[in-house]
Amino acid sequence: MLRGPCRLFRVSVAPVAALAVALVSSLSRCSLLEPENRVVSPLSPYFGTKTRYEDANPGLLPDPEAPRRDPQLLEETCTPVQLVALIRHGTRYPTTKQIRKLRQLHGLLQARGPGDDRIRAAGGGDLGAVLANWPLWYADWMDGQLVEKGRQDMRQLALRLASLFPVLFSRENCGRLQLVTSSKHRCMDSGAAFLQGLWQHYHPGLPPPDVADMECGPPRINDKLMRFFDHCEKFLTQVERNATALYHVEAFKTGPEMQNILKKVAGILQVPVNNLNADLIQVAFFTCSFDLAIKGVKSPWCDVFDIDDAKVLEYLNDLKQYWKRGYGYTINSQSSCTLFQDIFQHLDKAVEQKQRRPSRNPPMLCIRHIM
Written as tens digits, the pLDDT of the chain (371 aa) is 333 333 333 333 333 333 333 333 333 333 333 445 678 899 999 999 898 888 888 888 888 888 877 766 666 667 788 889 999 999 999 999 999 999 999 999 999 865 545 544 444 468 999 999 999 999 999 999 999 999 999 999 999 999 988 888 988 888 888 899 999 999 999 999 999 999 999 999 999 999 888 888 789 999 999 999 999 999 999 999 999 999 999 999 999 999 999 999 999 999 999 999 999 999 999 999 999 999 999 999 999 999 999 999 999 999 999 999 999 999 999 999 999 999 999 889 888 888 887 655 566 667 666 55
At position 13, the amino acid (one-letter code) is: V
For residues 199 and 214, is the Cβ–Cβ distance under 8 A?
yes
For residues 141 and 48, is the Cβ–Cβ distance under 8 A?
no
Q: How many angstroms separate the CA atoms of 239 and 233, rounded?
A: 10
**Residues 307-327: b if buried by 16+ CB within 10 A, e if exposed:** eebbebbbebbebbebbbbee
Q: How many angstroms separate the CA atoms of 206 and 237, rounded?
A: 50
> Which of 31, 35, 53 minimizes the C-alpha distance to 44?
53
Residues in the chain: 371
CA neighbours closer than 13 Å in the CB half-sphere of residue 64: 24
Catalytic center residues: 89
Cα 340 to Cα 214, 225, 232, 334, distances in angstroms: 29, 9, 15, 10
Give me the residues paired with residue 180 across strands.
220, 368
Residues 6 or more apart whose CB falls under 8 angstroms from that of 102 comprise: 94, 136, 138, 283, 284, 287
Cα 332 to Cα 88, 232, 270, 329, 355, distances in angstroms: 18, 10, 41, 6, 36
